[in-house]
Structure 1
């Protein structure tokens, strides 16, 4: 585990083989459960994995899933993802080929990414979007403020319950009014060239989700993400029946029975899984193949808490998949590039991986140990959003 000199809590798996100098690395990072994942690997998974044939990736993947009868939980998937990526890294090194070549070879030369723009005012958001456009990005996610921005009522404001919750509160009706105004402003100020994205973070009730999706139609969204939580997948059928706004979903999926119907019934337009949450490259390549068969595109999830090994793994799938739609960007300070040499770079809105065998990324263990994770960040307990009456807002 390493903090990489910042607020991160990364879990990087290193798999060593009986061949001198041959090893692979993978991402098992889960910022909310980092210590739990690390303990699962060290105490439970490592003894089960030790001594197995590293070439039998699929067999190891399924054996790990089924060994305790119950499967597809978040901690297991994160741990398995770290191993799986490391095994693909090893296989590429043995073959002398990048992982994207093992997956069938490149179908594109680089990976188009989308940037993240936000601000306290609509003009600040527009300036942020324009900044990404000036750097070569053609796709930008636009958010008003922080989590739930556009619908957050400041502490002490609004009609509060006496003696009850008095913190920042989410108002879904205010949100559904504010977000279309933001994108109207962006289109007027920036035109139609930029492809815009917005993340709802599963905050809305089904009725208000349908309303927002319809109101966003005039702004030609590239997609709206996580308008509803995975427990309400069936409502995406209703949304697709009444609106043309593209939908993206999958960031918090862990079980194939969550995403398979979304893809096969074509009720989403983009699959938004995180590779280190669903089981690694082995799972990701199967999701991409399913998407290709049903006309759905991939948009693998990243985010500020994720590590470069996961990003590299996602990019290798992106480079080799015809189902690719877009890749969420991630950027790190120079210290991280030194700690994890080979970290992909995004000089012009595209992610580039090197042509080294395997994932093309390594870890400087001596440097990583200089930045230990000594205690949970507080995010291991998660975070909550509440409405003005104190009730919990999903996810």
Structure 2
């Protein structure tokens, strides 16, 4: 089965998505997600100018060889742009193989390890009461796990809480440039412990609670936070600190038993190798789109399982439904799967473009037995939502110093 064409589509039904379609001489095609939030067009150019020409005529069934060819053969390994491009091709090839075999991708990976995929929802509010009310709504819908985020009093904007803004596009107005946000660790600490104290008082211990620091703290500050949150039994504390220096998590680990999760910005297994093998984290959150696709995520999951680290793939709204479908198949297979982040299936515009076979009931997700990834892409509908340049925010300390967003 020879690859005959690689097509790239960019659409913006609320958020920008880069969708790749790999076509073959047998009429079977596959879909992949190459979205890199804020740098989408860099990936588009990379695929169209450098990747696609190298794939024409290759056997679409040779997934491993093509992955190695795109990773090792380029010489300049890793990197967000490179790995997003590889990811999209890899997902599309798994989609093709599943369709050719008339089997869902999870069956090709080794079959099910569970009857459904546990999801965690997001509850974000302007006040603690607002956050807890939204948490109650998710629990009433059947979710057994909820991530809690709350605006920090005294800051103009807080990560995860957009207020009356629907998305980051609205923060940028008619002249798209990165919005800038203030950060104060002291003001954050004044709020965050009380948030979880009140959550446990209101909801008891039967619901899993999570929180995303979004890398705002230094390692010793993260250690302090983890220790303060121990009485409230979090499922995990996400992105407590930047871990470009993976030894940073030794400081956090030696001070707290709060479970730690990280990985949404990672591109390869090498970014998390030491964290996993030294058991400095409990959940690895790499995303298929950002870390090279299904092939390397399977490898990371197997490696993590040796060290009792669970998978918890990133699930932000800037990952397309194609990526979510890829995660679902990996989650059904991975014996060490932990939990999947879930922000819904997008708005009505997105649902016109991406049609999927995922069902959610009582906080559990499942896929149909449709062959491949079980996702469809409407090219004509996508044309109605052209690309809009957009950026993620930039964070600054209150004295103006650029900080981690």
User: Does residue 94 of the first structure (1) align with residue 100 of the second (2)?
Assistant: yes
1:170–1:388 distance in 2 versus 1, CA, 3 Å: same
Aligned to 1:52: 58
Alpha-carbon contact 1:299-1:324 (below 8 Å) kept: yes
Q: Which 5+ residue runs of structure 2 have no aligned equivalent?
A: 1-8, 158-179
Shift of 1:4: 4.8
Task: Give the direction of change, closer, same or farther, for the CA distance of 1:387–1:87 in structure 2 (3 Å limit).
Answer: same
| Aligned counterpart, 2:38 | 32
Question: Using the alignment, how far apart are the partners of 1:5 and 1:257 within structure 2?
Answer: 34
What does the per-residue CA deviation read over 1:154-196, in whole Å, with 9 as the maximum and x for residues that have no partner? 49xxxxxxxxxxx752111221232111100111111111100
**1:246-297, CA deviations, whole angstroms, 9 ceiling, x for partnerless residues?**
0000011113221111111110000011110000000111111112121100
Distance 1:235 1:99 in 2: 37
Matched, 1:336 2:350: yes
Which aligned pairs between 1:1-395 and structure 2 lie closer than 5 A?
A: 1-6=9-14, 8-19=15-26, 21-145=27-151, 150=152, 153-154=155-156, 168-331=181-344, 332-373=346-387, 375-377=388-390, 379=391, 382-395=392-405
Question: Retained in 1: the 8 A contact 2:268–2:292?
Answer: no
Describe the SS at the equivalent of 2:254.
helix
- Detail structure 1 runs of 4+ shifted over 4 Å in the superposition: none
The answer to which structure has the higher strand fraction is: 2
1:203 and 1:394 map into 2 onto residues whose CA distance is 6
Distance in 1, matches of 2:181 and 2:287, equals 29
- Change in 2 beyond 3 A, CA 1:66/1:285: same
Is residue 197–residue 223 contact of structure 1 (8 Å, CA) maintained in 2?
yes
SS in structure 2 at match of 1:130: helix
Per the TM alignment, residue 152 of structure 1 is displaced from its structure 2 partner at its CA by 5.3
**Whole-Å Cα distance in 2 between the matches of residues 117 and 236 of structure 1?**
27
TM-score, structure 2 length as denominator? Answer: 0.89
Distance in 2 (alpha carbons) for counterparts of 1:61 and 1:203: 34
Residue 169 of structure 2 corresponds to which residue in structure 1? none
Distance 1:272 1:55 in 2: 28
Residues 336, 344 of structure 1: CA spacing in aligned structure 2 closer, same or farther, 3 A cutoff? farther
Shifted more, 132-141 versus 28-37: the winner is 28-37
Distance 1:366 1:206 in 2: 48
CA distance in 2, matches of 1:105, 1:68: 33
- Looking at structure 2, the residues matched to 194 and 63 of structure 1 have their Cα atoms a distance apart, in angstroms, of 45
Cα distance between partner residues in 2 of 1:129 and 1:57: 42
How many residue pairs were aligned?
374
**Aligned-partner Cα distance in 1 for 2:110–2:183:** 46
Secondary structure of residue in 1 paired with 2:335:
coil
CA RMSD between the two structures: 1.5
- SS state at 2:221 partner: helix
Task: Mark the CA change 1:333 to 1:168 in structure 2 (over 3 Å): closer, same or farther.
Answer: closer
Unaligned regions of 5+ residues in structure 1, if any?
Answer: 156-166
Cα distance change of structure 1 residues 391 and 152 upon mapping to structure 2, 3 Å threshold: farther
SS at match of 1:224: strand
Deviation at 1:56, TM superposition (A): 1.0
